[in-house]
Copies of this chain bind each other. A is one copy, B any other.
Amino acid sequence: MASLDAQLHEYYSRRDALIHEDRSLRRENALVATEDERRADAVLRKIRVQEAETTWNDEGVAKRNMFPGMAFLTARSTIESTRIFKLLQKMPKGGLLHAHLDAVVNKAMLLKYAYECPEIHMSVGQALTVDNVKTITPVFKPIPVSPFTGNAGLSAAQGYRNNSWVPLVSARETFDPALGGPEGFDRWLLDSQMINPTEAYLTHNSVKRIWQKFLSTFPVTGGLFLYRPIYRKYIRQALLESIDDGVSYIEARINFLTKFMHGDDGQENIPHSRWVADFEEVVEQVKNEMRSQGREDEFFGAKIIYTTVKVITPEELEWYIEDAISLKKAFPNMIVGFDLVGDENELRPLIEYVPKLLEFNERVRKEGLDLPLILHAGETLSDGGAPDNNMYDAILLGSKRIGHGYSIVKHPSLMRICRERGIAMEVCPISNEILRLTSSIPAHPLPAVINQGVPVCLNSDDPAVFGSMGLTYDYFQVFVSSEVSGVLTLAQLARDSLTFSTLPEDAKQRALQAWEHRWSAYVKEIGDMYEKL
């Protein structure tokens, strides 16, 4: 038995060494936890286990198929009830580096802004009935002189003429009681801009179908978002909500495909330069307000990643490249990246744009501009098809980070390159799940990618469409889905969202220092719960 004891002792040593080596590429493992971090880690792990066994126990009909990291749209209210969620809400999260501006403010708030604008009109292609209402998407636009003369009712029973424009507020007030009256109207407008659980997990339960629903929400929102008075309120709300969620810096993707938005006068004549100027003004206002409240450490500003959509031809891309470069020159501190977006499974692969993007890189270099490509790539289940191969082009084109990079787990060389060169993946867990790349977060490739030492930051992508406003939901889903992840993992994800931002070095250091300061207070507060557990 002495021999077995010795053998066992050796076995456990080898086991520890193997686990240590296997996790040695994880970025947080280069750090040593502080005493507060160790205590906070113990607290969070203990609560995580408790809640896995109680809140998420998958017992009885009421809890059918529940587990930590399960499908978000079914789990949201349960998530919000947990202690882990409440603790993560308070966490300082660093940067939000992947979010589409037109999908970050919750849609109820957007509707509220719209209801305050008497000039917003709406129309539908077909008069509403009980049978068709769920399939009809409304169209909005500001009309300075209302063409409206008659009955605002949108239903067939109310005599609505297809495609006629009705003031939004009147349409709401007179919404057919058979369709639910004003409350039914609100629900219908929200549904047309969000994905519900039945769609994600039943009727549209494939990547292709759910993207059809997903994309259908953007034109609806666009009719409101691209109206300057709403746009300015919207940006302000986006910033305040993010700050409230613990985000201290933002790189928002703005879709510049549409060349003009509607101005205060209702005319569609506001050029991109004004979009950027407005954005900058609102950011400065909020920064000043934060400063005046002594909270300057909670907000280090917001920048813009210029995006257009891969529906355009490579020739059409030239216009957007010129546009982005001229905006960069006019707003050198605001435009920090260039990207091409859209459903990679359906739209042009990056390789078709390579000649233009090489020219773009050359122009930017020659003109001495700091305007990197920050490209979407690999947001796909494809293995070796065009959308997966976008990963190669994003890397070869020198993308500073990768939007999503969901498929990088399949690419040993690309993981090595990203690890060595510090190319971070902008991972969007809830977005990936709702858009059906994964059925739940435990099945997400994130842990595999983290264990390869690839830098990662967590992002919300289009939280207003998913109902996941802020970053807390994404942090929650990731944290409860892994027993490797602890408080140092949370810290590393947040830290890397600043480290791999486009912030200039001095501003980055200030933002990181402020984050470290808040982090210390955060882990102390959680660690102090240790004795009471």
List of B residues within 8 angstroms of A439 by Cβ: 436, 438-439, 443
List of B residues within 8 angstroms of A245 by Cβ: none
What does the 1/0 interface line of A421-454 toward B look like (CB < 8 Å)?
0000000000000001111101101011001100
A443 to B414 CA separation, bound complex (whole angstroms): 19
Query: Does A4 lie within 8 Å of B359, measured CB to CB?
Result: yes
List of B residues within 8 angstroms of A483 by Cβ: 382-385, 388
> What are 26 A-B interface contacts by the 8 Å CB criterion?
A4-B359, A7-B358, A8-B354, A11-B396, A15-B351, A18-B413, A19-B389, A19-B392, A22-B411, A58-B209, A67-B206, A67-B208, A70-B206, A381-B443, A383-B442, A383-B481, A383-B482, A383-B484, A384-B483, A388-B483, A409-B409, A409-B448, A410-B447, A412-B452, A438-B439, A439-B439
A442 to B440 CA separation, bound complex (whole angstroms): 14
Answer whether residue A366 sits at the interface, using C-beta atoms and an 8 A cutoff.
Answer: no
A14 to B413 CA separation, bound complex (whole angstroms): 13
Query: Does A392 lie within 8 Å of B15, measured CB to CB?
Result: yes
Query: Does A4 lie within 8 Å of B208, measured CB to CB?
Result: no
Closest 5 CB pairs of A and B: A384-B484, A439-B439, A381-B442, A383-B482, A22-B413
List of B residues within 8 angstroms of A452 by Cβ: 412
Answer whether residue A65 sits at the interface, using C-beta atoms and an 8 A cutoff.
Answer: yes
Query: Does A451 lie within 8 Å of B8, measured CB to CB?
Result: no
A448 partner, pick from B4, B205, B410, beta carbons under 8 A? B410
Answer whether residue A150 sits at the interface, using C-beta atoms and an 8 A cutoff.
Answer: no
Answer whether residue A203 sits at the interface, using C-beta atoms and an 8 A cutoff.
Answer: yes
A67 partner, pick from B207, B384, B482, beta carbons under 8 A? B207
A22 partner, pick from B204, B412, B445, beta carbons under 8 A? B412
A32 to B67 CA separation, bound complex (whole angstroms): 47
A209 to B64 CA separation, bound complex (whole angstroms): 8
Answer whether residue A216 sits at the interface, using C-beta atoms and an 8 A cutoff.
Answer: no
What does the 1/0 interface line of A483-508 toward B look like (CB < 8 Å)?
11100000000000000000000000
Answer whether residue A25 sits at the interface, using C-beta atoms and an 8 A cutoff.
Answer: yes
What does the 1/0 interface line of A305-320 toward B look like (CB < 8 Å)?
0000000000000000
Answer whether residue A21 sits at the interface, using C-beta atoms and an 8 A cutoff.
Answer: yes
A484 to B382 CA separation, bound complex (whole angstroms): 9
List of B residues within 8 angstroms of A436 by Cβ: 439
List of B residues within 8 angstroms of A411 by Cβ: 22, 451
Answer whether residue A395 sits at the interface, using C-beta atoms and an 8 A cutoff.
Answer: yes
Query: Does A4 lie within 8 Å of B382, measured CB to CB?
Result: no
Answer whether residue A393 sits at the interface, using C-beta atoms and an 8 A cutoff.
Answer: yes
Nearest CB on B from A62, distance (A): 14
A385 to B447 CA separation, bound complex (whole angstroms): 13
A351 to B16 CA separation, bound complex (whole angstroms): 12
Answer whether residue A66 sits at the interface, using C-beta atoms and an 8 A cutoff.
Answer: yes
Tell me which residues from 199 to 225 in chain A have a Cβ below 8 Å from any Cβ of chain B: 203-209
